[in-house]
Amino acid sequence: MRTRNRQPASSLKRRLGAPESVRLRLRLTYILSVSIGIATLSLAFPHHALAAVQIIAHSDILLTATVADFDTGYKLSLGNSVLYQCDQDSTWQIGIRSLDANLGPSDDATYTKPLSDLYWKGGSQGSWIPMTTSYVTVLSGSSSPGWWTVDIDYGFLLSWFNDKPGTYQATIQYTITSY
Amino acid sequence: MQRAYSFKALLILGVIVLAALLVAASADRALAATASDTAEVGISIGILEVLISHGDINFGTATGTGYTSVQSGDATVKRNTNWKVTIQADSAAWTGSNGGRADKPCSHLEYNRSWSPGWIQLSTSPTELASGTPGEYTGTMSYRVLIVWADTPGDYQIDVTSTLTGN
């Protein structure tokens, strides 16, 4: 029974040499297959999934704290641009979160700076917001194709009592989603 | 039968190829619809410290032997590690001028700390004034001078140094 399903590859070649009526049926079959494929593609992937967006560029930020910053109680880094691209008209949303649960330990490992000591604001968020590991929307909207930027400000809380020497940092994730 | 079967095989093959193309195309599009990237955001903190000492202390004119009036001033320490502050006279004796003797000992200057009772004679050896954990602290230092009959009339001055270090 299974031998009926096994055909050598050369059988296709033989088909190509088939009469005109057979070749026509082959073409019709091919066209039908393509049509089915395109229809399936359209149904399975509606318009919103076709909007192409991506984060193009941004910069790492490493600040250095001074006595004046400690006296002020914070250190700011303003206007950090995140460049993103829309390939076509799209509605999108940019989110931000930390991939780290804290800012890491002091050099002597006796203190861990909490993630909540890192604040940010920007986009549609006009107030300082403590960083968390959950996504928070920075900006949402619609854009025509092109490159766009959103500026994000960062601020570290500083304390003479808590912040022992060390390098404290978090990996921040920017995510853009199109609809 | 053979011919009909071949048509079906071609049809199935076409659908498979299209499905493969569909998966590949959709994978690209799906990634583009949600894109992420990361950045490091950090701050480097070194050893930071501040010692704000009071300014010059002037005892005015002594009117007799014994101790002068007490003069005070505030001092502030800020440091982000454990710390200590020491005090010492820069010289073993006061500098006398306008008739003041040159050998009035530095120990005639005594200090008192608001956070610790008692008067302590100054010396040229660093003496711990205070110590603590990271933070910001302010205290009051008080001073008095012992006047003895050996102190000839004149002006007397002595420099005192306070030093903040890690502990």
Distance, CA of A26 to CA of B164 (rounded, Å) = 92
Of A143 and A93, the structure prediction assigns the larger pLDDT to A93
ipTM of the complex: 0.74
* Cβ <8 Å between B43 and A156: yes
- Mean pLDDT, residues A31-39: 63
A15 to chain B, closest Cα gap in Å:
8
What is the model's pLDDT at position A40?
Answer: 59
Q: Is the pLDDT of residue A18 over 80?
A: no
A38 has a pLDDT exceeding 80:
no
Q: Which residue of A has its CA nearest to B23?
A: A41
- Taking only residues 73 to 92 of chain B, the set having a beta carbon closer than 8 angstroms to any beta carbon of chain A reads 78-81
Check CB contact of B166 with chain A, cutoff 8 Å. no
Residues of chain A in contact with residue B37, where contact means CB-CB under 8 angstroms, are 55, 58, 173-174
DSSP for residue B94 = P
- Give the model confidence (pLDDT) of A160-179 as tens digits: 999 999 999 999 999 998 87
Average pLDDT over every residue of A60-82: 96
What is the per-residue pLDDT across B112-141, written as a single tens digit (0 to 9) for each? 999 999 999 999 999 999 999 999 999 999
Residue of B30 and B60 predicted with greater confidence? B60
Residue A131: closest C-alpha in chain B: B41
Strand ranges in B46-154 using DSSP code E only, listed in sequence order: 49-52, 66-67, 71-79, 83-89, 95-97, 109-113, 116-121, 127-132, 135-147
Is the pLDDT score of A143 beyond 70? yes
List b or e across A50-83, with b for residues whose CB sees 16 or more CB atoms inside 10 angstroms: bbbbbbeebeebebebeeebbeeeebebeebebe
Contact B9 A164 (CB under 8 A): no
Contacts of A71 in chain B (CB under 8 A): 50, 78
Give A37's pLDDT tier (boundaries 50, 70, 90): low
